[in-house]
């Protein structure tokens, strides 16, 4: 059992109750004092590592653009242990790593200083003081971190106080000792409280509007082409839905945004035909259990409509890839204004996949045979809306609180601290018709009543839509999964049409053929550990959760050796590691975007949508992908890419 020192919790409590801190003795020479916040306590492994609970470490961050001397500085706990006399220098915007007891605490990262003294597992207060004794930074509790997974406590924003609980998060990036980022950018990032910038929006026929929920580096904009950034995507979706006069076809992997649900209910009550394709989840999967339950409660509200009566004129119509059953918990039903009784839905005894299931079915699924349905194992991963057969609203954004806000608290305050996302909306009846064809292949009919004996999801779909349409003079390609080989078209595009560069942000990438074509562009060889730089420019970002997965393209591109291989992932290691990075976002890097020949005269093109570059994304899940051949749209994505890339430590010229 771990034995650690007991912190002086009574003193800590008195400290917090008084609302102040113990003032350091003032120096006679205040001119030598450093500015508060010039260095911050940036990350704390108060729980140790997977190697040992004694392997504690602390990271400081120089927040200035100048070299910072720590000679004479002190990092000390309120209870006196540890008390570390600091020495050495920190480069501009760099990190200073303190490892407890020995440099073996983190074997792969060299310590800047070794210290002794144990951190408490709770009620700990740390002060960072400069050589004059002035207080530069403080932390007054462990607001984050996980002792079970050995995930560190990471600071979100150096400009916000270390005593603010909202300014700390639990690390999500893996390293040898668990989860953390010693001497590297944190896996969390500053919360975006920037004002919304909507400068490039058109309602004209042929318009392509692009929205980013995170920041963009508009200094890279073509004249008059600034990207729309810090955008509340929910507002944009609701505005588009509210314009519907005849029909809304809505395909959603997840939905739990109450304002969106209310908007869909209101449009159905106005007589608009609202058809919804929704993804069913494995209700016993702890990863989905709570979210899927919430989703079903909202979907039942839509099925009942504003009058709460099943089968009346104001109902939305819903079909799923696998059937859905009501949430029977009366307390939860009451919380969502659902009636206590649900006997107006049929109680069914059916087989879902290979499992006998009984429940009150309120959403039908694709039927395999009589009373037998496909399992919810595959994903209807689309997130798109077709409005009045004119507008297509699509992208990487799931219609969820986490996807946009990060938490209910943030949603209530209008803080956009969700996953990194993009949305593209296109005013094109031709494109809308193509999406409608895809929708109705899964829906099984052209009416508001789905036909689950005809509907096809996943691998049962066929390639039945055009793949090229002209929109506002631009060529736009459209591909659906499964069946259309969307990732295969990406691979061909890189091989035959990419001339100067490829930049990407990707959530999950395991497709080997696409990796190999990019390797050949980068270093002129498909062979493992062989190649010479060609001058072709590759830059990219991977979501932190997949950065170290053996199957991820990030392993090969950075010249690392995977822990295992498979037929589909032989892991062809690049001889010349590319400048690709683990994303540094507050939550997930959720986009699946590749820019080809951005900023050149060689057909600048951007690839967007819901499709991850993987076997499941291409050949199993229901997905959609747009390939937009347009220099202005590609440039808008470049502005957002550059902001993400620099945030992760990349250099943009």
In this structure, the answer to whether residues 516 and 410 fall within a common structural domain is: no
In degrees and rounded to multiples of 5, residue 146 shows phi and psi of -140, 120
In this structure, the answer to whether residues 93 and 153 fall within a common structural domain is: yes
- What end-to-end distance do the CA atoms of the chain give, in Å? 53
Which of 162-166, 323-327, 395-399, 489-493 shows the lowest mean pLDDT across its residues? 162-166
CA distance 543 to 458: 25
Strand runs (DSSP E) across 402-536, as ranges? 422-427, 468-471, 474-481, 501-506
In this structure, the answer to whether residues 417 and 495 fall within a common structural domain is: no
In this structure, the answer to whether residues 536 and 629 fall within a common structural domain is: yes
Per DSSP, helices labelled H in 343-445 are 401-404, 408-413, 429-443
pLDDT higher than threshold 70 for residue 194:
no
DSSP line for 88-99: SEE-TT-EEEEE
- pLDDT tens across 493-547, in order? 999 999 999 999 999 999 999 999 999 999 999 999 999 999 999 999 999 999 9
pLDDT higher than threshold 90 for residue 452:
yes
The Cβ of residue 494 has, within 10 Å, a number of other Cβ atoms equal to 21
pLDDT of the residue at 296 = 97
In this structure, the answer to whether residues 241 and 289 fall within a common structural domain is: yes
Which of 28-37, 244-253, 564-573, 626-635 shows the lowest mean pLDDT across its residues? 28-37
pLDDT of the residue at 3 = 35
pLDDT (average), residues 603-621: 96
pLDDT higher than threshold 70 for residue 415:
yes
pLDDT higher than threshold 60 for residue 4:
no
Tell me what the pLDDT averaged over the chain comes to.
90
Q: Which domain holds residue 423?
A: 232-343+361-366+379-443
- pLDDT tens across 268-304, in order? 999 999 999 999 998 788 888 899 999 999 999 999 9
pLDDT of the residue at 9 = 40
Which of 112-126, 176-190, 362-376, 384-398 shows the lowest mean pLDDT across its residues? 176-190
126: which strand partners? 77, 139
pLDDT of the residue at 174 = 81
Sequence-distant (≥ 6) Cβ neighbours of residue 333 within 8 angstroms: 297, 327, 339, 340, 342
Which CATH number covers residue 309?
Answer: 3.30.870.10
Number of domains in the chain: 3
pLDDT of the residue at 166 = 76
pLDDT of the residue at 63 = 81
Confidence of residue 28 (pLDDT cuts 50, 70, 90): very low
Confidence of residue 193 (pLDDT cuts 50, 70, 90): low
Percent of the chain whose predicted confidence (pLDDT) is above 90? 77
Task: Give domain status of residue 568, yes or no.
Answer: yes
pLDDT of the residue at 356 = 96
Task: Give domain status of residue 210, yes or no.
Answer: no
pLDDT (average), residues 117-145: 90
pLDDT of the residue at 192 = 47
pLDDT of the residue at 159 = 64
In this structure, the answer to whether residues 563 and 623 fall within a common structural domain is: yes
Task: Give domain status of residue 522, yes or no.
Answer: yes
CA distance 102 to 116: 9
Confidence of residue 23 (pLDDT cuts 50, 70, 90): very low
pLDDT higher than threshold 90 for residue 603:
yes
Residue environment code for 34-49, b if the CB has 16+ CB neighbours within 10 A, otherwise e:
beebbbbbbbbbbbbb
| SS3 label, residue 247 | strand
In this structure, the answer to whether residues 511 and 574 fall within a common structural domain is: yes
pLDDT (average), residues 60-64: 87
CA distance 48 to 150: 7
Task: Give domain status of residue 464, yes or no.
Answer: no
In this structure, the answer to whether residues 479 and 547 fall within a common structural domain is: yes
pLDDT higher than threshold 50 for residue 85:
yes
Task: Give domain status of residue 219, yes or no.
Answer: no
113: which strand partners? 98
Q: Look at residues 41, 24, 40, 7 and name the one whose alpha carbon lies nearest to residue 124.
A: 7
pTM of the model: 0.74
CA distance 574 to 577: 6
Task: Give domain status of residue 603, yes or no.
Answer: yes
In this structure, the answer to whether residues 623 and 565 fall within a common structural domain is: yes
Confidence of residue 35 (pLDDT cuts 50, 70, 90): confident
Task: Give domain status of residue 132, yes or no.
Answer: yes
| SS3 label, residue 477 | strand
Q: Look at residues 509, 236, 177 and name the one whose alpha carbon lies nearest to residue 397.
A: 236
124 or 280: which leads in pLDDT? 280
Task: Give domain status of residue 211, yes or no.
Answer: no
- Judge whether 642 and 220 are in contact, CB under 8 Å: yes
pLDDT of the residue at 188 = 59
In this structure, the answer to whether residues 305 and 429 fall within a common structural domain is: yes
pLDDT higher than threshold 80 for residue 427:
yes
Q: Look at residues 240, 299, 225 and name the one whose alpha carbon lies nearest to residue 272.
A: 240
pLDDT of the residue at 7 = 38
Q: What is the DSSP secondary structure assignment for residue 255, as one 8-state letter?
A: B
Which CATH number covers residue 111?
Answer: 2.60.40.1260
- Judge whether 280 and 324 are in contact, CB under 8 Å: yes
pLDDT higher than threshold 60 for residue 82:
yes
pLDDT higher than threshold 50 for residue 22:
no
In this structure, the answer to whether residues 603 and 511 fall within a common structural domain is: yes
CA distances for 603 relative to 125, 344, 498, 599, 648, angstroms: 57, 57, 9, 9, 28
In this structure, the answer to whether residues 499 and 394 fall within a common structural domain is: no
């Amino acid at each position: 059992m771990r034995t650690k020192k007991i912190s002086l919790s009574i003193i800590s409590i008195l400290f917090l109750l008084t609302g102040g801190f113990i003032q350091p003795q003032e120096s006679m020479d205040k001119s030598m004092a450093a500015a508060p916040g010039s260095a911050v306590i940036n990350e704390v492994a108060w729980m140790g590592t997977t190697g040992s609970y004694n392997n504690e470490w602390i990271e400081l961050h120089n927040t200035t653009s100048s070299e910072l001397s720590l000679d004479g500085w002190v990092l000390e706990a309120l209870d006196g242990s540890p008390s570390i006399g600091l020495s050495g220098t920190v480069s501009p915007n760099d990190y200073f790593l303190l490892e407890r007891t020995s440099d073996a605490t983190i074997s792969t990262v060299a310590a800047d200083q070794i210290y002794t003294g144990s951190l408490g597992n709770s009620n700990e207060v740390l002060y960072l003081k400069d050589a004059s004794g002035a207080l530069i930074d403080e932390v007054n509790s462990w607001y984050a971190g996980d002792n079970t997974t050995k995930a560190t406590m990471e600071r979100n924003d150096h400009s916000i106080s270390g005593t603010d609980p909202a300014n700390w998060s639990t690390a999500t990036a893996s390293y040898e000792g668990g989860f953390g980022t010693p001497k590297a950018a944190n896996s969390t990032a500053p919360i975006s409280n920037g004002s919304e910038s909507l400068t490039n929006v058109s309602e004209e026929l042929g318009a392509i509007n692009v929205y980013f929920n995170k920041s963009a580096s508009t200094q890279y904009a073509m004249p008059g082409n600034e990207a729309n950034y810090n955008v509340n995507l929910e507002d944009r979706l609701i505005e588009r839905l509210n314009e519907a006069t005849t029909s809304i076809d809505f395909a959603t992997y997840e939905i739990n945004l109450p304002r969106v649900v209310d908007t869909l209910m209101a449009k159905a009550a106005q007589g608009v035909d609202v058809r919804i394709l929704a993804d069913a989840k494995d209700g016993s999967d702890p990863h989905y259990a709570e979210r899927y339950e919430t989703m079903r409660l909202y979907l039942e509200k839509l099925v009942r409509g504003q009058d709460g009566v099943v089968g009346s004129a104001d109902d939305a119509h819903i079909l799923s890839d696998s059937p859905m059953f009501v949430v029977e918990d009366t307390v939860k039903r009451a919380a969502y204004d659902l009636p206590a009784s649900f006997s107006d839905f049929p109680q069914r005894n059916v087989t879902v996949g290979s499992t006998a299931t009984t429940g009150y079915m309120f959403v039908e699924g694709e039927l395999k045979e009589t009373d037998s349905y496909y399992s919810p194992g595959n994903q209807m991963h689309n997130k798109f809306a077709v409005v009045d057969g004119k507008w297509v609203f699509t992208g990487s954004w799931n219609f969820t609180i986490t996807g946009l806000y990060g938490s209910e608290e943030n949603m209530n305050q209008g803080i956009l601290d969700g996953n990194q996302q993009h949305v593209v909306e296109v005013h094109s009846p031709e494109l809308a018709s193509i999406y409608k064809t895809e929708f109705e292949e899964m829906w099984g009919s052209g009416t508001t009543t789905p036909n689950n004996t005809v509907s096809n999801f996943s691998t049962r779909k066929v390639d039945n839509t055009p793949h090229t349409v002209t929109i506002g003079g631009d060529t736009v390609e459209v591909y659906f999964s499964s069946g259309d080989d969307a990732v295969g078209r990406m691979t061909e595009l890189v091989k035959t049409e990419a001339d100067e560069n490829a930049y990407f942000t990707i959530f999950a990438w395991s497709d080997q053929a696409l990796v190999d074509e990019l390797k050949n562009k980068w270093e002129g060889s498909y062979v493992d550990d062989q190649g010479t730089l060609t001058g072709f420019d590759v830059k990219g970002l991977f979501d932190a959760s997949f950065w170290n997965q053996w199957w991820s393209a990030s392993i090969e591109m950075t010249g690392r050796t995977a822990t295992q291989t498979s037929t589909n992932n032989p892991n062809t290691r690049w001889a010349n590691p590319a400048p690709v990075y683990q994303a540094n976002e507050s939550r997930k890097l959720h986009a699946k975007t590749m820019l080809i020949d951005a900023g050149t005269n060689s057909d600048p093109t951007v690839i967007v949508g819901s499709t991850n570059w993987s076997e499941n994304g291409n050949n199993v899940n229901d997905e959609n992908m747009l390939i937009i051949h347009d220099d202005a749209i590609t440039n808008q994505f470049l502005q957002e890419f550059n902001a993400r890339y620099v945030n992760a430590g990349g250099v943009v010229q």
